[in-house]
Amino acid sequence: MKKTISLLLCAAIVISAFSFSVSASNEQTVKNEYPVVLVHGMFGWGSNEGINSIAPYWGATTGSMVNYLVDNGYDCYAASVGPLSSAWDQACELYAQLTGSRVDYGSAHSSEKGHKRYGRSYDKPLFEGWGEDGKKIHLIGHSFGGNAVRLLTYLLTYGCEEEMNACENPSPLFEGGHEDWIATCTTICTPLNGTTAYNVASHRSLIKLMKIIATLWAATFGRSIANGTVVDFHLEQFGLCDIPGDPDGKADPFLEAVPRFLNTTDSVDYGLSLKDCKELNEMIETSSDVYYFSVAYDCTQKSSRGKYIPKNIDFILLGVFSDWITGMGSFTDEDSGTEIDESWMPNDGLVNVKSALYPFDEAHKDYDAKSVEKGVWNVLPVRKGDHGTPIGLFADKSETRNEMIELLDIILATE
């Protein structure tokens, strides 16, 4: 009996020791509880727009990703910014939405781009407490939204001297010194260096046609009751839409506002070009206090004949676009001076894999769970799928959700 009791006690001690070891290990990898803010791409929308209840941007045909994440214990939000706006304007809109303040595009920027300085006001922040008592956020941008979150992170860290000197009452966004408000900055399928799809479409005059259609659509739809109740274009700075909640903020005359936006370079169409992305990269830099992650998707495969053909396509239309990009061959982008060779061929249907990995002029490394660095792009392995796969557009529901959970577990494990 004594031997039996002794063995049981030994077993209990071993089990207790093992349990303590596991508990200690878990304590070392406890996930932080900072909110996750998702930022959509071109032609996208956030959770607070009417269309999202019918067709959520994050989740698309697989159902609301935000609701799924919240139900599973993640503190997650999907912001809304201008779906046709430039990265600068989107960053300013995102800041105002996060802080519950009036959108200030900056005195210098607005003067240079020929649009109004102020936009709408947000009565309350997207969530409470950002920047207070060490409360940071995780920013995740899909497609063009990735450049918006990069720029917001840069402005919060370094500010903008030009804007600070341009007027007596600059936005707090341009002060800088708030790098401790951002925990991580993550881009998914983002044209960090531009996309050759822009060149393809531009050569076929499709960029101009698309902008004309989008402008007329925004100007017409944006003046109706549907703007803000179904989808919101956030283009009041150009006078295309009324300023929500401002009785004096009426849209400008149609024939005045439309040419203004058609002729501007302060919009998403120009922002996709290799030249604009190169200029953006020259202006901004990473913050040494922020973790950066990037995820690229590839829906092409090199054939036996050396051609890159569409594969792993969820949205069939992107297969057509992917073939456009891979059929480009070698050329030099005259505006940016970038030489396009075979390394640019793999793509997700809209963005080249090479461009989505990291900004060419910033430090980067392959992702290593044991050695994640701040101020450096931690590049995750390229995933199979097209541009819409990570947001669930005609994708497999379980795979879409699992890939997002996997990404969140990575960024939430940072200190």
**pLDDT above 90 covers what percent of the chain?**
78
User: What is residue 53's predicted lDDT score, i.e. its pLDDT?
Assistant: 92
Lowest mean pLDDT of 57-71, 72-86, 257-271, 322-336, name the range.
Answer: 322-336
Give the bridge partners for 37, in sequence order: 77, 139
User: What is residue 29's predicted lDDT score, i.e. its pLDDT?
Assistant: 55
Q: What is the DSSP letter of 291?
A: E
What mean pLDDT value characterizes the chain? 90
Nearest to 116 by CA among 137, 85, 139: 85
Nearest to 296 by CA among 383, 389, 406: 383
Position of tokens 């925990």?
Answer: 183
Nearest to 74 by CA among 28, 36, 125: 36
User: What is residue 395's predicted lDDT score, i.e. its pLDDT?
Assistant: 97
Of residues 89 and 334, which shows the higher confidence score?
89
Mean pLDDT of the 39-47 span? 96
Cβ atoms within 10 Å of 70's Cβ, excluding its own: 13
User: What is residue 19's predicted lDDT score, i.e. its pLDDT?
Assistant: 34
Digit-coded pLDDT (tens) for 149-205: 999 999 999 999 999 999 999 999 999 999 999 999 999 999 999 999 999 899 888
Question: Helix 145-158 vs helix 87-99: angle between axes, to the nearest 10 degrees?
Answer: 70
Cα(177)–Cα(87) distance, integer angstroms? 21
Instruction: Assess whether pLDDT exceeds 50 at residue 5.
Output: no
Rounded to the nearest 5 degrees, what angle is found at the Cα of 295, between the Cα atoms of 398 and 353?
115
Cα Rg, the chain, nearest whole Å: 23
Position of tokens 């590839």?
Answer: 298
Q: DSSP characters for 294-336?
A: EE-EE-EEE-TTS-EEE-S-SSHHHHHHHHHHHT--SEEETTT
Rounded to the nearest 5 degrees, what angle is found at the Cα of 231, between the Cα atoms of 229 and 237?
100
Instruction: Assess whether pLDDT exceeds 70 at residue 232.
Output: yes
Cα(164)–Cα(172) distance, integer angstroms? 9
Active site residues: 143, 348, 387
Mean pLDDT of the 318-325 span? 87
Instruction: Assess whether pLDDT exceeds 80 at residue 20.
Output: no
Q: Are 266 and 113 in contact (CB under 8 A)?
A: yes
Tokens (6 digits) for 352: 């080249």
User: What is residue 94's predicted lDDT score, i.e. its pLDDT?
Assistant: 98
The CATH code belonging to domain 36-411 is 3.40.50.1820
Residues with Cβ within 8 Å of residue 12, at least 6 apart in sequence: none
Q: Are 151 and 91 in contact (CB under 8 A)?
A: yes
Of residues 166 and 326, which shows the higher confidence score?
166
Nearest to 114 by CA among 210, 239, 213: 239
Tokens (6 digits) for 98: 């996060």
Instruction: Assess whether pLDDT exceeds 90 at residue 102.
Output: yes
User: What is residue 13's predicted lDDT score, i.e. its pLDDT?
Assistant: 30
Q: Where are the domains of the chain?
A: 36-411
Cβ atoms within 10 Å of 119's Cβ, excluding its own: 26
Conformation bin of residue 401: beta by default, left when phi > 0, alpha when psi is -120 to 50: alpha
Position of tokens 């994640």?
Answer: 372
Digit-coded pLDDT (tens) for 263-272: 999 999 999 9
Lowest mean pLDDT of 153-157, 204-208, 288-292, 294-298, name the range.
Answer: 204-208
Q: Which range has the top average pLDDT, 97-101, 302-306, 318-322?
A: 97-101
